[in-house]
Structure 1
Amino acid sequence: MTERTISRFIERHYRHFNAASLVDAAKAYCAHLDGGGKMLVTLAGAMSTAELGLSLAEMIRQDKVHAISCTGANLEEDVFNLVAHDHYRRIPNYRELSALEEEKLLSQHLNRVTDTCIPEEEAIRRIERAVIDEWSAASQAGESYFPHEYLYRILLDGRLKESYQIPPEDSWLLAAAQKQLPIFVPGWEDSTLGNIFAARCIEGKAASRAMRPGIEYMVALASWYESTCSEHDIGFFQIGGGIAGDFPICVVPMLNQDLLKDVPTWSYFCQISDSTTSYGSYSGAVPNEKITWGKLNATSPRFIVESDATIVAPLVFAYVLGW
């Protein structure tokens, strides 16, 4: 797409309201990169099941994304989609399902995420069988790794290659593994593989010490931020709300206020969210509120696009990629 077809369409038609915010955020993203800045992207919700990898993987390959904070669900669901895409079932009329119809999906081992059902055996259990060997080996050796490092290992050693059901270039986690992109996964225990790991620990088939915890993720994030900001401005592109965004943005006030360092605040901020701005809703807080917490400053470019991230994020990425 060398003619910037999507970018030109966006610039011509997206002139007001949330549409204009999308354009402003995309242009500022480009300006941030052009100025030598780095970008951390956060993934909440079910963006991997929404197949954001179709654009995010290329963003990673072209060095438009330099670190990712994501939920455990987004981490694993990209790999689930990679090996089981043909077995997924789309439910266009999901809003009309009765409770009994939902139970029927359960009996068929189809776990629904909005309009898409993830097949348990072909997706979840296939990845469990691959990763349990790594968990067991680390447990027996007294070693410890982050959740994403185990998935990086099974992706890079090729053991899943024969099971791929989508073009591998459409997997954002595979692209990240190939780049050895820094990934931070707060609250990983709240995921399918996190639940399975806990079950294996209860059975004695894995040791809890084999999984490095969330506090160590924060320590690693602090190290990455401090070393990176010494040479580059760092931006924050937040898709959705929740822990994927709340966790990493706090690293700046932690470094400055709790460790008494002197690091710069995030140099760019954009949040795509359908959370209504309201009293007490962190995900619905406007970006200015983050200034009072020492996360942003008065000159940081700040954007909020109150819309569906599955629509907005691919358009912003397309613009940044020059499509």
Structure 2
Amino acid sequence: MSNNKPISNFIEKYFLHFNAASVVDAAKGYETKLNEGSKMLVSLAGAMSTAEIGKIFAEIIRQDKVHIVSCTGANLEEDLMNLVAHSHYKRIPNYRDLTPQDEWDLLEKGLNRVTDTCIPEEEAFRRLQEHIVKIWKDAEAKGERYFPHEYMYKLLLSGVLEEYYEIDLKDSWMYAAAEKNLPIVVPGWEDSTMGNIFASYVLKGELKASTVKSGIEYMTFLADWYTENSKNGIGFFQIGGGIAGDFPICVVPMLYQDMERTDTPFWNYFCQISDSTTSYGSYSGAVPNEKITWGKLDIDTPKFIIESDATIVVPLVFAYLLEM
């Protein structure tokens, strides 16, 4: 065993069976694909940014161990919210015991709860709103259109948020992504806080809906990116379920079946970390083999499913990769 690989040594020694063994197998499979020259997509669902995944995911980005991200609008913005309002967050360890009145009291204090953590509306949402609206309006005045994540990149790289930073910048995965101009797709951005804010300005007649590029444009961008980057294969590392995973994985059957590009390669690695189990009609709980029938994965694609809490498992897998 290597003395400078404490996490790798730990999980290889003690993670031997069931979900634990799947963690090791998936991490090694990810490592193998990177060593073979494959690229990797990571999808982020749930509230991983509020869970401060940026503390380790930012380094994964800096070390080129991920090449494209698919995430919900919530994960896109909540990394920035944590960056500018961390000291105003409130942790609720006893969140399982809250009454409806307790929840109402949090709302009246401007605290929006995500499990055990409350995001402060005034310091987080409104602080970002002031600056992002200006960027939207400036782009529209110039006749320019961008994707949601590109507006966030502009916001970060403009420096206007620097006076508000409350965490170490190296712990922001969005800042690491902005520095690299990492490709991101954000399906369903409209249901995020920033998406809701943008929609409100459209309703008020102050912005055009077309100023932010659409989900269809994200899909066509992803199709081009996949085609241009699949020479050595592309893997799929899915954190949680939902649209962050369902949207990008469909690009392969779309290219193969609908565009009739029959030389399109399948995803060459698949891992899903989720607490969703197989049930009637559950996409998030479907076992990887089901994806073969949809033209997403090949018979020989390495497939891993870890039925566990992503906030526990993902840092272990990423730490393993950083010790490569």
**TM-score when normalising by structure 1:** 0.98
Counterpart of 1:44, as a letter, is A
Distance in 2 (alpha carbons) for counterparts of 1:284 and 1:319: 25
What does 1:40-55 correspond to in 2, within 5 Å?
40-55=41-56
The alignment covers a number of residue pairs equal to 322
The AA in structure 1 aligned to 2:126 is R
Counterpart in the other structure of 2:103 = 102
- CA shift, 1:279, in A, is 2.3
Amino acid at match of 1:239: I
Aligned to 1:257: 257
Partners of 1:97 and 1:208 in 2: how far apart?
A: 39
Partner of 2:137: 136
Which residue number in structure 2 is paired with residue 91 of structure 1? 92
Superimposed CA distance per residue, residues 123-168 of structure 1 (whole angstroms, 9 cap, x where no aligned partner) = 1100111100011112222221100000000111211112110000
Name the structure 1 match of 2:62: 61
Once the two structures are superposed, the pairs formed by residues 1-323 of structure 1 within 5 Å of their partners are: 3-229=4-230, 231-261=231-261, 262-322=263-323
Report the AA paired with residue 247 of structure 1.
F
- Give the deviation of 1:232 after TM superposition: 2.2
Per-residue CA deviations over 1:71-114 (Å, capped at 9, x if unaligned) read 00000000000000010000000000010010000000000000
Task: Supply the distance in 2 between the matched residues of 1:256 and 1:2 (Cα, whole angstroms).
Answer: 46
Moved more, 200-209 or 103-112: 200-209
Matches of 2:297 and 2:57, distance apart in 1: 25
**CA separation in 2, counterparts of 1:69 and 1:8?**
30
Structure 1 runs not aligned, ≥5 long: none
Q: Could you list the per-position Cα deviations for residues 212-248 of structure 1 after superposition, in whole angstroms to 9, with x for gaps in the alignment? A: 000000000000000001x321000000000000000
CA distance in 1 between partners of 2:280 and 2:119 (Å): 35
Rounded Cα–Cα distance in structure 2 between residues aligned with 1:202 and 1:300 = 46
C-alpha distance in 1 between matches for 2:3 and 2:88: 34
Quote the Cα distance in structure 2 between the aligned partners of 1:179 and 1:43: 18
For 2:142, give the aligned amino acid. A
Asked if 2 retains the 8 angstrom alpha-carbon contact of 1:145 and 1:210, the reply is yes
Letter in 1 for 2:158: D
Q: Distance in 1 between matches of 2:11 and 2:207?
A: 50
SS in structure 1 opposite 2:190?
A: coil
Deviations 1:233-281 (A, max 9, x none): 1000000000000000000000010001121000000000100111211
**Residue identity matched to 1:163:** Y
Contact in 2 for aligned 1:38/1:234 (Cα 8 Å): yes
> Higher mean Cα deviation, 154-163 or 184-193?
154-163
In the alignment, residue 255 of structure 1 is paired with which amino acid? L
Distance in 1 separating the partners of 2:296 and 2:35: 22
- d(CA) in 2 for partners of 1:278 and 1:142? 47
Q: Name the SS for the 1:293 alignment partner.
A: coil
Query: What is the CA–CA distance in structure 2 between the aligned matches of 1:64 and 1:281, rounded to whole Å?
Result: 30
Aligned-residue offset at 1:206 = 1.6
1:291 and 1:297 in contact (8 A); partners too: yes
CA distance in 1, matches of 2:148, 2:278: 33
1:5-29 Cα offsets, whole Å, 9 max, x none, are: 1111111010000000000000000
Q: Secondary structure at the match of 2:74?
A: helix
Looking at structure 1, the residues matched to 98 and 3 of structure 2 have their Cα atoms a distance apart, in angstroms, of 43
Q: Secondary structure at the match of 1:165?
A: coil
Distance 1:321 1:228, change over 3 A: same
Q: Which runs of 4+ in 1 moved over 6 A?
A: none
Secondary structure in 1 matching 2:220: helix
SS state at 1:189 partner:
helix
User: What amino acid is the match of 1:237?
Assistant: F
In structure 2, stretches of 5+ residues that fail to align are: none
Once the two structures are TM-superposed, the CA of residue 200 in structure 1 deviates from its matched residue by 0.9
Q: 1:2–1:322: 8 Å Cα contact kept in structure 2? A: no
